[in-house]
Amino acid sequence: MDREHDIEAIHRQAERWLARLRASDCSAAERRDFDAWRTAQTTHAEAYAQAEQLWSGLDELAEDPEIVQWRQEARRSAQATPSRNGRLRWLAVASLAAVVLCTSFATWWFVGGSSASSYATAHGEQRSVVLADGSRIVLNTDTVLDVDLGRHTRRVWLRRGEAMFEVTHDANRPFVVQAGGNTISDIGTRFDVRDSGAQTVVAVLEGAVAIARDGNTAELTAGEQIVAGDGAWTRGRADPTMTAGWTQGRLVFRATPLGDAVAEANRYGPDRLVIADPSLAQLKISGEFRIGNTSALVRALQSVYPIRAEHDRGNGEIRLYRR
């Protein structure tokens, strides 16, 4: 009996989280708390996945006669029942809704439904998401993606930004990522996809992926990457430390042009670095720095390289000059 009560409590928590995450004032801190709750136990992830599946069917069921009837019953109950019985009224309406939703959702799933969700991060924010199939996605700063766990195909649309994928392989349900006009198909792996708009970089850390774009195809294995874009299709080696460094809170540079390093640092920090002297843009730098700690990066640049920095407190810029 205690176990049944525990499971019931977990499902109530999942339902509350589902409602809270869809609120317009849900904060980044609350989303981190939710991620911690969902990854704490597999039962949490399973309960939330079930709640999401029910929710995702609501749009398609909006005009269902049973749903319309439930809404009418809910309105009548809310008008007829005194406020002091609010808890009982809520339970009655919730019970009716559960019956209607479970019945309608079973029909919806049977005819080929799916579980669709959207995830996003703000500037400087990162977020880890465990999907209902056990796959894990880590979103980097300023990233937006949509997930649709269909009955036959699991599909992700990376709208912008960067994400690391750790996929639970399922031969009967391929895992496909769409990014910047590219189609990346998982073959049981861990891989990173970054879409900057102009081009998409796919790097494989474990396993293999197949990628296709405009008639071009390639299969990448661990330690390989490809840069794909309009007129670009360049295959090369991937540095696992550089590729995955951001998931551990680090920026990793290996003979990286300063212009590229500055662009990377600006994705996270509150201060904005500006190369005031164009001759510095191709200067190669190396090192590892904590994400968001722009001041430490600037100190290192001034100590090791022929660079001086000027801080503009008015606009938050740090301008880099050659010395």
86 and 126 both lie in a single domain = no
Q: 151-190: string of b/e by CB count within 10 Å (b at 16+)?
A: eeebbbebeebbbbbbbeeeeebbbbbbbbebebebbebb
91 and 125 both lie in a single domain = no
The pLDDT of residue 108 is 41
Entry pTM: 0.66
Compute the distance between CA of residue 79 and CA of residue 168 in angstroms, rounded to an integer. 48
Q: What angle do CA 281, 286, 287 make, to 5 degrees?
A: 130
Coil, strand, or helix at residue 69? helix
Compute the distance between CA of residue 172 and CA of residue 133 in angstroms, rounded to an integer. 12
The pLDDT of residue 163 is 98
How many CA atoms lie within 13 Å of 214's alpha carbon, on the beta-carbon side?
Answer: 9
Q: Which of 189, 220, 242 is the last residue of a domain?
A: 242
Compute the distance between CA of residue 178 and CA of residue 180 in angstroms, rounded to an integer. 7
Coil, strand, or helix at residue 165? strand
The pLDDT of residue 171 is 86
72 and 85 both lie in a single domain = yes
Q: Which of 59, 92, 110 is the last residue of a domain?
A: 110
Helix 86-110 to helix 65-80 angle (10° resolution) is 180
How many CA atoms lie within 13 Å of 194's alpha carbon, on the beta-carbon side?
Answer: 16
C-alpha distances (whole Å) from 318 to each of 256, 268, 275, 278, 309 are 19, 14, 9, 15, 6
Helix 258-265 to helix 294-304 angle (10° resolution) is 160
Compute the distance between CA of residue 201 and CA of residue 233 in angstroms, rounded to an integer. 10
Compute the distance between CA of residue 188 and CA of residue 140 in angstroms, rounded to an integer. 22
Compute the distance between CA of residue 256 and CA of residue 239 in angstroms, rounded to an integer. 12
191 and 99 both lie in a single domain = no
Compute the distance between CA of residue 144 and CA of residue 199 in angstroms, rounded to an integer. 16
Q: Which of 68, 94, 110 is the last residue of a domain?
A: 110
152 and 223 both lie in a single domain = yes
256 and 237 both lie in a single domain = no
Q: Whole domain around residue 75: which residue ranges?
A: 2-110
The whole-angstrom distance between residue 166's C-alpha and the CA centroid of its chain comes to: 12
65 and 158 both lie in a single domain = no
The pLDDT of residue 97 is 46
- Give the model confidence (pLDDT) of 21-47 as tens digits: 877 778 888 888 888 888 888 778 777
Q: Which residues contact 170 (CB under 8 A, 6 or more apart)?
A: 133, 154
285 and 300 both lie in a single domain = yes
Q: What angle do CA 167, 168, 174 make, to 5 degrees?
A: 80
The pLDDT of residue 284 is 96
The pLDDT of residue 238 is 96
106 and 121 both lie in a single domain = no
Tally of structural domains, the chain: 3
Compute the distance between CA of residue 208 and CA of residue 23 in angstroms, rounded to an integer. 38
55 and 144 both lie in a single domain = no
CATH number of the domain enclosing 276: 3.55.50.30
- Provide the mean pLDDT of the chain: 82
Ranges under pLDDT 70 in the chain: 1-5, 50, 52-115
Cβ atoms 179, 158 nearer than 8 A: yes
Task: Detail the DSSP E strand segments found in 100-242.
Answer: 114-120, 127-130, 136-139, 144-150, 154-166, 175-179, 182-186, 190-195, 199-206, 208-213, 216-221, 224-229, 232-237
Which DSSP letter does residue 271 get? S
The pLDDT of residue 55 is 61
Q: Which residues contact 115 (CB under 8 A, 6 or more apart)?
A: 49, 52, 53, 56, 132, 148, 149
